[in-house]
Structure 1
Amino acid sequence: MTAGVKTASASPASVPPIWNGEKMYNSFLKDGTGFSFPHKEGAPVAVVAFDTQCPDCMRLLQRLQPLLKDVQVNFYPISFMNIHSEPQGTTILMADKPYEVFERQHEHFKDPDFRGIRYDISKLPVELRDKVWTNTKLHRRAGCRAVPYGVFKNSKGEYVPFDENLTTEELRKVFELN
C-alpha cells in the first residue's frame, strides 16, 4: 500500500482492491479533461469520473449539488456504458459552460424517448472526442471498474474514495466541510 492512500475499505464507498486513489487524483488533474461548477476560491478539490448514461452518476450529482459551491468537484466524462456516452460527454465538454449542459443531461436523463441531451455526431471535434477517451483510459489505469468513482485528497494527505452510495451528509464529512 502506498503511503497516504486510503484503501477500498473506506465504507460506504465501494471501490475494488486494485483502485489507486492517488493515481486517479493526480492523473486526472494532470492529463484529464473535465469541468467544475462555480465554487468558492480556494475550495478543496475532488475528482469524479462519470458516464452520461449512468443512473448512479446522476444520483451522485444530485447528492453533490448542495456542496458544489464549497468544493471544487472536477467532473471528467468517460465512455463506459454505451454508444451515447462519448458523444454526450464531448457535447458537455464543448460547451462554454459545461456544468450547465451537465445539468441539462441530468434534467433529461429520465426522458422517455432518449436518455439525456441530444447531440449531432458530425459536429463533434475528434480532438475533443479523444479527450473523453483519454479520461476513460485514466479511469481504467487507476483501477476503476465502474462509475461513478470519486476521490478527494483530505487534509491528512489521504486519498478518500466516494461514490453514489454516500449521502450528502457523508460527502460533507469526506470533504471535511463543517
Structure 2
Amino acid sequence: MNTIQRFLTCIALSCSVLVLTACDKPAGDSSNASGTSSNVPADTGPVDFDKLEALKGFIVGSGPSIMTQTSAYVFFDPQCPHCAELWVNAQPLHQQVKMKWIPVAFINAKSKTQAGVLLEAQNPVELMTKYESEMTASKNSAVLDGSPRAETLEDVERNTQAWKNSGAQSVPAMLYRDPKNPGKVSMVTGAAPTASIAALFGVSAPAK
C-alpha cells in the first residue's frame, strides 16, 4: 500500500461524513442509484492534505486562498450528473475557495476516456464548465471525445483507486478542512447547493 493509499484509508476512518444525492452505482444498475444515509465517525486528529496534491486534477479558485492551501479536493466522474450539479453550484464561490477537482472512472465505459480528456485539456476549467453545462442541459448526454495518452489513463486509474481508498462509495466526494478546526477533515458526498458549500468553508454565499 503506497503513501496516498495509506493516507486515504486513514481519512476513511477519521473524517466526518455527510451524504447527499450522489452517483453510487454504475450505469445499468437500478438498485439504489443515490446515497441518502449518513455516517459520522469520530475525528482522530490532523490530516496532511499535501498528500492529495500527488493526484492528477485541476485547481479552481482565484480568491485569497489561491496562494495558500487547497480548501477542498473533489473526486468526480465525468458521467455523473450530480457532479455536474456540484460543479455549477460551486462556481459562485471560486473567488473565495480553492478547490482541486480530481477525475475518476467508475460509472461506465466513457468515464475513463472523458476523465483523461479533461486532464489533458489546455484549459481544463473552461472545458469542464462547458461540458458540465451541456451535461445539465442535455440530461447526461453531452459529448467529450478524445484519445488520451496511456500515461494519462494510468493517472485516472490512480485517482480512482485513491477515491476507493478514501472510503467514499459515491461521487462527487469532497474532502475539506473544517475552517474552525483545520486539523479536522470532513467528507461530503453529493451535489450540495451553493449556500451549503459556502457554510462548510465559513464563507458567504453570493447574493442571487
The TM-score range, normalised by the shorter chain, is 0.7 to 0.9
Q: 1:145 aligns with which of 160, 163, 169?
A: 169
CA contact (8 A) 2:135 2:142 kept: yes
Provide the C-alpha distance between the structure 2 equivalents of 1:59 and 1:80, rounded to a whole number of angstroms: 18
Aligned residue identity for 2:89: R
Matches within 5 A, 1:85-124: 85-110=111-136, 115-121=141-147, 124=148
| Count of matched residue pairs | 171
Q: What's the offset of the Cα at 1:91?
A: 0.6
**Residue 174 in structure 1 maps to residue 183 in structure 2:** no
Q: Map 1:23-172 onto structure 2 (within 5 A).
A: 25=49, 27-29=51-53, 31-43=54-66, 45-110=71-136, 115-121=141-147, 124-155=148-179, 156=181, 157-172=183-198
Instruction: Report the RMSD for the aligned CA atoms in angstroms.
Output: 3.1
Amino acid at match of 2:161: K
Structure scoring higher RCO (CA < 8 A, sep ≥ 6) equals 1
Structure 1 portions without partners, runs of 5+: none
Superposition TM-score, scaled by structure 2 size? 0.70
Kept in 2: contact 1:104–1:116 (CA 8 A)? no
The gaps in structure 2 that reach 5 residues or longer are: 1-9, 22-36
- 2:26 corresponding residue in structure 1: none
Q: Which deviations, in whole Å up to 9, do the C-alpha atoms of 1:41-80 show, x marking residues without a partner?
A: 4345210000000011111111111111211110000001
Shift of 1:168: 0.9
Cα distance in structure 1, aligned partners of 2:187 and 2:163: 13
Give the fraction of aligned pairs with identical amino acids, expressed as a percent: 21
